[in-house]
Amino acid sequence: MPQLKLTYFDVHGGRGEPVRLALHIGGVAFEDRRFAFPEFAEIRKTTPFAQVPTLEVDGVQITQCDAILRYAGKLAGLYPADPFQALLCDEVMFVVEEAAMKLGPTFRMTGEEQRAARLALVDGAIPVYLRWLQKQLAAHGGEFFADGRLTVADLKVLVDIRALNSGRFDHIPTDLVASVAPALNAHMQRIAKLPAVQAYYAKFAAK
């Protein structure tokens, strides 16, 4: 097994969290390098595109969150071997990432500019993505997004839906998911109750 070191913010969310979850669920050993937001200014100087997460594999630094997540999924047994099921898994991950990229620029805004930008997303792009994800979930059995079992696609959606519901994003209603794609909340709750997911978060609650 390769030596792995994941570098990401010390938060239970964002682009690094699905990777942590996948590796934990699969019992894959890795160094979980977490850092506080003030440290990012220095850490980003050491990354290819001034961004995280990064994953070091036997000392080789890898970037791009979905490439890292797919690799983690393969190590953990959470990525489909069947090419078509892998395609379905990738499709969901890329859609979640595309939605995040729509929201991303608003974090650099403040005041009325941020409010207007986020309300435009709430009234436009975000519900489009959520409804598509709900439709895909239903089309593939209603429990998982691909392969009839837990994959990294489910973990990526779990983290994303939790964030949208969290209240951490000003001007994003906490009932947005419930109002436009309630099946995604049911999916989130079901995945969160899996013993391996509960065990992961229990480690932090105990501290």
Per-residue pLDDT for the chain (207 aa), expressed as one digit of tens each? 899 999 999 999 999 999 999 999 999 999 999 999 999 999 999 999 999 999 999 999 999 999 999 999 999 999 999 999 999 999 999 999 999 999 999 999 999 999 999 999 999 999 999 999 999 999 999 999 999 999 999 999 999 999 999 999 999 999 999 999 999 999 999 999 999 999 999 988 865
d(CA 90, CA 51): 21
- pLDDT (0 to 100) of residue 99: 96
Amino acid at 57: V
- pLDDT (0 to 100) of residue 127: 98
Q: Which CATH number fits the domain that encloses residue 71?
A: 3.40.30.10
200 within domain boundaries: no
- pLDDT (0 to 100) of residue 40: 97
d(CA 9, CA 168): 16
Backbone φ/ψ region at 6: left (φ over 0), alpha (ψ -120 to 50), beta:
beta
Number of domains forming the structure of the chain:
2
Whether 93 and 144 map to the same domain: the answer is yes
190 within domain boundaries: yes
With residue 40 as reference, give the H or E element that holds it.
helix 40-43
Whether 69 and 43 map to the same domain: the answer is yes
**54 lies in which domain range?**
4-78
- pLDDT (0 to 100) of residue 141: 96
116 within domain boundaries: yes
Whether 113 and 161 map to the same domain: the answer is yes
Whether 65 and 90 map to the same domain: the answer is no
Whether 131 and 63 map to the same domain: the answer is no
Domain end, chosen from 55, 78, 101, is at: 78
- pLDDT (0 to 100) of residue 205: 80
Domain end, chosen from 62, 78, 94, is at: 78
